[in-house]
Structure 1
């Protein structure tokens, strides 16, 4: 399955065009390598996705072409979630 489609179907990113843009900007790593939107993902792969100040690391558990909202939980496992502190924030928020 293509990376941009997985991000959309798993609801990690709401729209496929946004998933494509995020990948094109180099904000998605597939197994610690920068990934293009057309990269093929498979079960067991790890994704690092940067959302602004937050980085989410997930492992792909299941691939399906389409899914309902209730079934999304089994598609990936969150391994780590980090929030970077802004350097210009004196309070560390």
Structure 2
């Protein structure tokens, strides 16, 4: 699954276009490297998202095309 779509489905970022813009601005890294929106997310990847001064670091636990709002948090595990 594409990184921008994963960020939307997992509800880490509200909209896919915003996730795409964040990737273009190099605010998202996967496994320590800046990632494009087209990066294929795999289980075990570590994604870092820079929200202004705050940085969120998560590990991908599952990749699913569609999940319910209540189950979205089960796709990742927050680190630190």
Moved over 4 A (4+): none
Q: Partners of 2:58 and 2:77 in 1: how far apart?
A: 5
Q: Partners of 1:69 and 1:39 in 2: how far apart?
A: 24
Q: How does 1:37-76 map to 2 (within 5 A)?
A: 37-76=37-76
**Please, which runs of 5 or more residues in structure 1 have no aligned partner?**
81-93
Q: Partners of 2:3 and 2:24 in 1: how far apart?
A: 11
Q: CA RMSD in A?
A: 0.5
Q: Secondary structure of 2:40's partner?
A: coil
Q: Which has the higher contact order (CA 8 A, sep 6+)?
A: 2
Which of structures 1 and 2 has the bigger CA Rg? 1
What displacement does 1:73 show?
Answer: 1.7
Residues paired across the two proteins, number: 80
Match of 2:26 in 1: 26
What displacement does 1:32 show?
Answer: 0.3
Q: Partners of 1:55 and 1:25 in 2: how far apart?
A: 15
TM-score by length of 2: 0.98
In the TM superposition, what whole-angstrom CA distance separates every residue of 1:28-77 from its partner, at most 9, and x where no partner exists? 00000000000011000000100111000000001100111111121000
